[in-house]
Structure 1
Amino acid sequence: MLSRVKKLEAALEQTDCDAVLVTNLKNIYYLTGFSGTEATVFISNNRRIFLTDSRYTLIAKGVVKGFDIVETRDALSEIAKIIANDKIETIGFDDEISYHYFRTLKELFSDYKLTAMTAFIENLRMIKDEEEIATIRKACQISDQAFLDVLEFIKPGQTTELQVMNFLDARMRQLGASGASFDFIIASGYRSAMPHGVASEKVIQTGETLTMDFGCYYNHYVSDMTRTIHVGHVTDEEREIYDIVLRSNQALIEVAKAGMSCIEFDQVPRKVINDAGYGQYFTHGIGHGIGLDIHEIPYFGKSSEPIEAGMVLTDEPGIYLDGKYGVRIEDDILITDTGCELLTLAPKELIVI
Structure 2
Amino acid sequence: MTQLEQLRHAMRRAELDAVWISDPANVRALSGFTSGRDAKVLVTPDGATLYTDARYTVQAAEESPLTAHIARPPATYEHAAPGVSGLRVGFEADHLTVAALEDLRANWPGATLLPVQGLVQSLRVIKTADEIQALRDAQVLADEVFMAVRPMIVAGARELDIANEIELRLRQRGAGSAFDIIVASGPRGAMPHGVASERLIEDGDLVTIDMGARVRGYHSDMTRTVAVGDPPEEMRRVYRAVLEAEEAAVQAVRPGVRTADLDRLARDILTGHGLGDAFAHSLGHGVGLEVHEGPSLRATSEDVLASGMVITIEPGAYLPGRGGVRIEDLVLVTDDGYEVLSTSPKDTL
Aligned equivalents of 1:144, 1:98: Cα separation in 2: 38
| 2:321 aligned partner, one-letter code | G
| 1:72 aligned partner, one-letter code | A
Aligned counterpart in structure 1 of residue 317 of structure 2, from 308, 314, 319: 319
User: Percent of counterpart pairs with the same letter?
Assistant: 35
Structure 1 counterpart of 2:180? 183
User: What is the DSSP-based 3-state SS (H/G/I as helix, E as strand, rest coil) of the residue aligned with 2:13?
Assistant: coil
Structure 1 runs of 4+ aligned residues shifted over 3 Å read 81-84
Q: Tell me by how many angstroms 1:195 deviates.
A: 1.2
Residues paired across the two proteins, number = 344
Q: Residue 39 in 1 paired to residue 36 in 2?
A: no
Once superposed, what is the RMSD of the aligned Cα atoms?
1.6
Structure 2 counterpart of 1:269? 266
Alignment of 1:150-299 (within 5 A): 150-157=149-156, 159-177=157-175, 179-299=176-296
Shifted more, 162-171 versus 44-53: the winner is 44-53
User: What is the DSSP-based 3-state SS (H/G/I as helix, E as strand, rest coil) of the residue aligned with 2:55?
Assistant: coil
Structure 2 counterpart of 1:54? 54
Aligned equivalents of 1:160, 1:233: Cα separation in 2: 18
Q: Tell me by how many angstroms 1:38 deviates.
A: 2.1
Q: Residue 89 in 1 paired to residue 87 in 2?
A: yes
Contact 2:177 2:213 in 1 (8 A): yes
| 2:293 aligned partner, one-letter code | E
| 2:208 aligned partner, one-letter code | T
Q: Tell me by how many angstroms 1:83 deviates.
A: 4.6
| 1:203 aligned partner, one-letter code | L
Contact 2:159 2:200 in 1 (8 A): yes
User: What is the DSSP-based 3-state SS (H/G/I as helix, E as strand, rest coil) of the residue aligned with 1:285?
Assistant: coil
Structure 2 counterpart of 1:76? 77
User: What is the DSSP-based 3-state SS (H/G/I as helix, E as strand, rest coil) of the residue aligned with 2:332?
Assistant: strand
Contact 1:52 1:73 in 2 (8 A): yes
Structure 2 counterpart of 1:301? 299
Aligned equivalents of 1:272, 1:182: Cα separation in 2: 29
Structure 2: gaps spanning 5 or more residues? none
Aligned equivalents of 1:329, 1:169: Cα separation in 2: 20
Structure 1: gaps spanning 5 or more residues? none
Contact 1:222 1:292 in 2 (8 A): yes
| 2:29 aligned partner, one-letter code | Y
| 2:64 aligned partner, one-letter code | V
| 1:298 aligned partner, one-letter code | P
| 1:99 aligned partner, one-letter code | V
User: What is the DSSP-based 3-state SS (H/G/I as helix, E as strand, rest coil) of the residue aligned with 1:120?
Assistant: coil
Task: For residues 235-282 of structure 1, give each alpha carbon's deviation from its aligned partner in whole angstroms, at most 9, with x where no partner exists.
Answer: 333322211111111001111111111210211111111112211111
Aligned equivalents of 1:238, 1:155: Cα separation in 2: 17
Aligned equivalents of 1:305, 1:203: Cα separation in 2: 41
TM-score normalised per structure 1? 0.93
